Chains A and B, each alone.
Chain A
């Protein structure tokens, strides 16, 4: 409903300025307030949301007031978490093929795939993750038929019928072992394919729609078609971010080297298990990293150096680091990963993050990497009114939100799981079967 206004805007534009129709003005007082920008929590803080946006977040003294006042009674109050890179809204049950739109192995398209077209805002996964305090996410199809994943979208989790905030926010490409397999069997082939694809895209700059580019195919395998090449035009011109999945130190160096040939690329590294081994080079290139949070096993030969200290070491070297929700069992484990990064500060020889920095790695930093700096994952004037009140330390396992606002709208936190919970609060069927208990 709140997207009625948004729909009037260009499909590419952020719907940030649009005041949600149902947004309530609210003032949350007596909060243990987390800004989300890396700073440490503020005791007795106040957040004021007006017209769907944050107008104040800070110490109680001097705070304005608006709308309903909610006394947090000392509870933790934070910005909504930002989950990246996810597949939220793209599958009901991942192992049930017909419900799963995450990959399209047999499709003739790769880079042209556009997740925004089909994201299901009513997905149970969206409802479950909203109840876990995640209010915005980057969601994308994954590489399957080619090294290109397709174009990911930025979404909100308010379930109002229009999840997409920004379609085609980024393109993702797999290099390393995953890309090698998809490119026909080697990293070498993956690099040639990426460069060739970017050259095709360069040839199409300013001529979008002209059916002139050469497809890249082998037998029945189409690695890049005309529509895929067109989809890479905003990538090669730097208007759309290119997320590159790579793990090994050498692969990361190779990614950074691509920028020498295509200087306008706006690169983001995803995964980067061995990033700590080349942290200085990543920092010097100014490339942010969406890092696997706690990966510490040599899962593959490209992750031999994996360690939980990776994110902390990258951050210490000056790299902008967010946590990769795609590396987790579920994105709702982001809080657990961040908590573990704090735990590492107490382990001799390990590198972790301060509480504030770890929280930022699952809120403002992934939002900034997604192009929503100052808008999502942070409580600052002008930011989206995404506010979460928690029943405990939000980085501690087991803590859950008691209240979630998205764009100033108070969210319903029920879902399939909470309904099952309520039905099975007891096993009493003395009067009627459980099927009547709803």
Chain B
């Protein structure tokens, strides 16, 4: 037996299967086809085959908020996500929305559930702008490695949502330990243009559509620097240098502009995404470490007519805080990652604080299935580094770095990211100060539905994968 025999056998089976299918179509199907042929003679009746356009709704969100009960939390310290702090405050949510936020005298109806928040803290749901959960899920086996279509330096046509495995146990840890209620799943950074991101509600679902954040704009992942030139240069193709990175990017944008101007052009998935960026409908999230490269990207964006929403990782953003402020670009950064690759060599603890000093937008991100569980702690590290130098960063602002600011950069700040009347009731009740290492989420609501309760062992999600396995339903 040659090693090829089993494969031939498998093909054989497929052929047989096809034969069986043809048989099962049977006489009825054949008659129908004859009918169609006759109809076809009448040109007016010929159906034109056409795919749905994106604007008509493709892969639409099927997420629906789960039922919740009208609830007020009284007596807690509230960080509203916009930099504010209310001591001994009241948060009242009903119908899935925030109804009222205020001081101890804030009126609440008599017939609702009231939680005593004394000694506890309330924040908006935590938002991670940079996650690969679902696309690079655990267990991190090769069969699950769906985060990078690293077969071409530009793949604007891929959509991260088509790789998301909703059963990734990482979603549940981010909820229970991190209070994460919304997150952006990005393609990886091997490619200059990695594809579309998707924004999810951190509510377990059987399908990715069931997690898609209704109304969230798409993001577009781009990457600077070492990764694209290493991956493709290593394959003996362009780009193999940073100047190659820019050349490929600019050529791709020019082709997209031509496409946008050509009314006769055939549909092209890649260019549809690029045109969406050029029209401002899709937000650019650009992985970029070095300050000088970020400055070049900003000029490329001006040349081509698009806007960068956020630089991700942005380890050297502190060197150009002024430029980033002037261009209204957020920096989504770690608190303390440094030195693991050349372009991260100049990482410092004060990155966020120096950006804040310049009035530039700061977002603390994870890019990691572990760190997403502790974004509050990462924000604290970055805050403390600034406070040591006398930079004024109130606790409310550090919380804003992981709530309102990421929401803004992801284009969902009208709906979530802060505790304001009318917004989604995405709320975390913490058992202590949320910027302390000693604190954890006690309860997490998403759209007013209680999705995690540390005091109730059954009120935590367990993914399909974990059923019947060691540690099912454990505190994790």
Contact B339 A124 (CB under 8 A): yes
Residue of B138, B346, B431 with most partner-chain A CB within 10 A: B138
Stretch from B238-246, B269-277, B436-444 at the A interface: B436-444
Chain-B contact segment, one of A64-72, A253-261, A333-341: A333-341
Q: How far is the CA of A388 from the CA of B140 in the complex (A)?
A: 39
A400 to B335, CA, bound (A): 14
Main secondary structure, interface of A, reads: loop
Which listed residue (B138, B342, B374, B377) contacts A299, Cβ 8 A? B138
Q: Does B53 contact A (CB under 8 A)?
A: no
Number of interface residues of A (CB under 8 A): 56
A161 to B138, CA, bound (A): 43
| Nearest chain B residue, comparing its CB with the CB of A341 | B437
8 Å CB contacts to A: which residues of B401-460?
A: 431-432, 436-440, 454-455, 457
Min C-beta distance of A311 to chain B, whole Å: 13
The answer to whether B369 and A298 touch across the interface, beta carbons within 8 angstroms, is no
CB of B345 within 8 A of CB of A93, answer: yes
B interface majority secondary structure: loop
From A15-23, A147-155, A317-325, A416-424, give the one contacting chain B. A416-424
Query: A329–B170 Cα gap in the complex (Å)?
Result: 18
Q: How far is the CA of A209 from the CA of B432 in the complex (A)?
A: 61
Task: Quote the shortest CB–CB distance from A291 to chain B (angstroms).
Answer: 15
CB nearest to B473 among chain A residues: A349
Judge whether A142 is part of the interface by a CB distance below 8 angstroms.
no
Assess whether B86 is interfacial by the CB under 8 Å rule. no
Residues of A within 8 A of B374 (CB): 336, 340
Beta-carbon contact of B454 and A398 below 8 Å: no
Q: Are A396 and B336 in contact (CB under 8 A)?
A: no
> Measured between C-beta atoms, what is the minimum distance from A22 to chain B in Å?
28
Whether B383 pairs with A398 at a CB distance below 8 angstroms is yes
A86 close to B (CB within 8 Å): no
Min CB–CB distance A68 → chain B (angstroms):
25
Whether B265 sits at the interface, judged by CB under 8 Å, is no
* Distance, CA A348 to CA B371, complexed state (A): 22
Q: Complex Cα distance A128/B348, Å?
A: 10
A332, B340: Cα distance in complex, Å: 14
Interface presence of A104 (CB below 8 A): no
In the assembled complex, which residues on chain B have CB atoms less than 8 Å from the CB atom of A329?
A: 336-337, 368, 371
Most buried by A among B141, B226, B470: B470
Q: Which of A12-47 contact B (CB under 8 A)?
A: none
**Chain-A contact segment, one of B153-161, B193-201, B318-326:** B318-326
Closest chain A CB from B470 CB (angstroms): 3
Q: Which residues of A contact B318 (CB under 8 A)?
A: 424
1/0 per position for A339-353, CB-CB distance to B under 8 A? Answer: 110111011111000
Contact B140 A300 (CB under 8 A): yes
Q: Does A306 contact B (CB under 8 A)?
A: yes
Contact B342 A93 (CB under 8 A): yes
B162 an interface residue at 8 Å Cβ cutoff? no
B376-414 vs A, CB cutoff 8 Å, 1 = contact: the mask equals 011011011100110000000000000000000000000
5 contacts across the A-B interface (CB closer than 8 A): A305-B470, A346-B438, A397-B380, A421-B348, A427-B358
| Apart from the given pairs A249-B470, A304-B469, 14 other A-B contacts in the complex at a CB distance below 8 Å | A277-B470, A297-B138, A297-B169, A298-B466, A303-B139, A305-B474, A340-B374, A342-B438, A344-B475, A347-B431, A349-B474, A398-B380, A424-B354, A427-B322
